[in-house]
Amino acid sequence: MHLPRAALLTLMLVFPDVAFSPSLAHAAPKHGLSAFGDLKYPAGFKHFDYVNPAAPKGGRMVTVGTSGLRSFDSLNPFILKGDAADGLEMTFDSLMTRAFDEPDAVYGLIAEWADVAESGKSVTFGLRKTARFADGSPITAEDVCHTFTLFKEKAHPSYRISLRDVEKCEVLGPHRVRYTFRGENVRDLPRVVATLPVLSKKFFQRHDFGKSGLTPILGSGPYRIKKFKAGSFITYERRKDYWAKDLSVNVGRWNFDEIKFLYFRDHTAELEALKAGALDLREEFVSRNWATAYDIAAVREGRLIKGVLPDERPSGAQGFFLNMRRAKFAHPKTRLALNYAFDFEWTNAKLFYGLYRRTESVFENSPLKATGKPSSEELKLMEPLRDTLPAAAFGPAITPPKSDGSGQDRRLLRTAHRLLLQAGWKRRGQWLVNDKGERFTIEFLITSPAFERIIIPYIRNLKLLGIDASIRLVESAQFQRRVKSFDFDIVAQRYVFSLTPGVELRAYFGSRAANVQGSFNIAGVANAGIDALIEHVVAARSRAELTTAARALDRSLRALHFWVPHWFKASHTIAWWNKFGRPKVKPKYARGVLDTWWFDARKARRLRGD
């Protein structure tokens, strides 16, 4: 259930392209950036700790996408139109790239250095003169600023919201650019612009950026598209002429000669393809399959590895998201009643084999999760917003009700029924109706039949309450269109936030995003107090301030009852054929499969019986 990413550089004379405006005060240029200035890797580091620098190149990996799509019809991942193929991010480079063993640090890729003004109101990047697009043309400052213009004006709404306070991009020279910011909450903006993909200006002088289609976009990353069939598969080939293959941020990474994504109609077809050897690796998201479907000879003999990889990332917000734009969900007690009707304990025991824990927080499995009553520091942020925040936000953090595990906990159902009556619903025969006599109906919109076994017991409870609930199973393209246009009652989604959330929160929970089609604010959260708390998160100047603001935001969001929380597990359950090598250390905050594993020819021969 898917729907993401300390040392100073040496003396300034090493950087002859650096120009300083007398009107701006600057610190020394750095080889990396982080929210609060701390960097694990010093200037001149050789490689990340979670790679094998001697990993061999070669072989191929055939897997499935992790986007949740069952098809694709576009090779443009940057716009609202179309459903983009998996893996396209491997074809593009950015000014800087994430280190996945740090909360938020990024290090130089296209950019050799970054210089943030002491005020935080601008950042200047020095580009490597060796940086090249896949056609051999140089990557210049003109390309960087043209990309910014495209993203600011035509990209997916999530990009436009994140770039709202980025005022301009200036070309200072062939290999120098400066971004200027407005407002006070600018902490994350240097990293936001540093991680934007850089696109070719010349390419988009000949092609329409806003058009969805199957024309590959010229990139500069470690892979290029080799072959594809829309909705069926896409294959990427490693670029042996990749300009950045020897940079420290890439040493030991991007080892497969080919990476292929296959698309299937459902999870069952994926699993059968894995067992048949058509897939090399697959992450399992269906707990029943993980518990029962891998008892086969290949697993018992060690040819097919069934492994659990720790996942130290925040588990995020997964649940049934309620479309609060619809009048039926307007009353918070109605939304809360839907929480009381979902029996997680029964679902976990009977359907999930006890493998999961209940999600409670939008920052689940992280230090940003709110617990207990608000601290004095949280209350300092919340009290001025008391008139706009839900009253329940000022009490103990909202947690989902715990059932007796029977599947129909009468105590919880009685509470749900009482809440519905308090919200204004009236019982008329079998069904609840509103003041206009309209029946309370709910439609669960899904794109995979795997969710039916979870929703059907939930529907039984809803019908006991007088709610006429049903399931609508649609194909992927229709699902995406309806979600983007907010044409749904309830959908299941998962959002994962970093350990340093910032401006992206506006796209998920900000009022401005609530009615922007295609935004991630699918529940329609539009609350002035929430907006203010988001800005406190964005403005935090230390990890302690960030934690306080995020917890205040978390408890306030949970008090809105905009979702019925699901479940999580802090691990990746993955099965793969035993023909790959992997580093001794896994990156803390990523799976690390496609970019750090490698093809082991000796294991592959043994697997074939050679």
Asked if the structure places residue 472 within a domain, the reply is yes
Asked if the structure places residue 593 within a domain, the reply is no
State the CB neighbour count (10 A cutoff) for residue 336. Answer: 22
Asked if residue 198 and residue 322 are part of one domain, the reply reads no
Residues 6+ apart with CB under 8 A from 602: none
Name the residue among 139, 150, 154, 125 with its Cα closest to residue 200: 139
Asked if the structure places residue 561 within a domain, the reply is yes
Asked if the structure places residue 605 within a domain, the reply is no
**Cα dihedral angle (450, 87, 362, 382), rounded to 10 degrees?**
-150
Which helix (DSSP H) or strand (DSSP E) does residue 258 occupy? strand 258-262
State pLDDT tens for residues 105-121: 999 999 999 999 999 99
Whether 365 shows a pLDDT value over 80: the answer reads yes
State pLDDT tens for residues 13-54: 222 233 333 334 455 799 999 999 999 999 999 999 999 999
Q: Does the predicted TM-score (pTM) go above 0.75?
A: yes
Asked if the structure places residue 174 within a domain, the reply is yes
Whether 6 shows a pLDDT value over 80: the answer reads no
Q: Which of 181, 202, 223 is the last residue of a domain?
A: 202
Helices (H), 37-118: none
Q: Which of 158, 175, 202 is the last residue of a domain?
A: 202
Asked if the structure places residue 12 within a domain, the reply is no
pLDDT, residue 9, reads 26
Whether 427 shows a pLDDT value over 50: the answer reads yes
pLDDT interval class at 477 (50, 70, 90): confident
**Percent of the chain at pLDDT exceeding 70:** 95
State pLDDT tens for residues 535-581: 999 999 999 999 999 999 999 999 999 999 999 988 899 999 999 99
Mean pLDDT of 177-197: 94
Mean pLDDT of 247-260: 98
What is the distance between the alpha carbons of residues 163 and 149, in angstroms, rounded to a whole number?
10
Name the residue among 184, 186, 243, 199 with its Cα closest to residue 33: 186
What is the distance between the alpha carbons of residues 203 and 152, in angstroms, rounded to a whole number?
18
Give the range of the structural domain holding residue 164, as residue numbers without chain letter. Answer: 18-56+92-202
Whether 431 shows a pLDDT value over 50: the answer reads yes
Mean pLDDT of 281-302: 93
8 A C-beta contact, residue 65 and residue 270: no
**214-253 b/e (C-beta count within 10 Å ≥ 16 → b):** eebbbbbbbbbbeebeebeebbbbbbeebbbeebbbbbbb
Asked if residue 343 and residue 197 are part of one domain, the reply reads no
State pLDDT tens for residues 74-114: 999 999 898 899 999 999 999 999 999 999 999 999 999 99
Domain count, the chain: 2
Asked if residue 190 and residue 325 are part of one domain, the reply reads no
The per-residue pLDDT of the chain, averaged, comes to 92
pLDDT, residue 67, reads 55
**Measured CA angle at 268 (ends 267, 270), to 5 deg:** 65
**Can you say how many angstroms the Cα of residue 489 is from the centroid of all Cα atoms in its chain?**
22
Q: What CATH number corresponds to the domain at position 561?
A: 3.10.105.10
Among 3-12, 359-368, 404-413, the least confident range: 3-12
Asked if the structure places residue 50 within a domain, the reply is yes
Asked if residue 488 and residue 347 are part of one domain, the reply reads yes
Whether 3 shows a pLDDT value over 60: the answer reads no
Whether 138 shows a pLDDT value over 70: the answer reads yes
Asked if the structure places residue 596 within a domain, the reply is no
pLDDT, residue 66, reads 65
Q: Which of 147, 169, 202 is the last residue of a domain?
A: 202
**Percent of the chain at pLDDT exceeding 90:** 85
Q: What CATH number corresponds to the domain at position 41?
A: 3.40.190.10
pLDDT, residue 27, reads 57
Asked if residue 372 and residue 504 are part of one domain, the reply reads yes
pLDDT interval class at 11 (50, 70, 90): very low
8 A C-beta contact, residue 160 and residue 144: no
Q: What letter does residue 207 receive in the DSSP assignment?
A: S
pLDDT, residue 91, reads 98
pLDDT, residue 5, reads 30
What is the distance between the alpha carbons of residues 178 and 168, in angstroms, rounded to a whole number?
8
Among 58-72, 301-315, 401-415, 543-557, the least confident range: 58-72
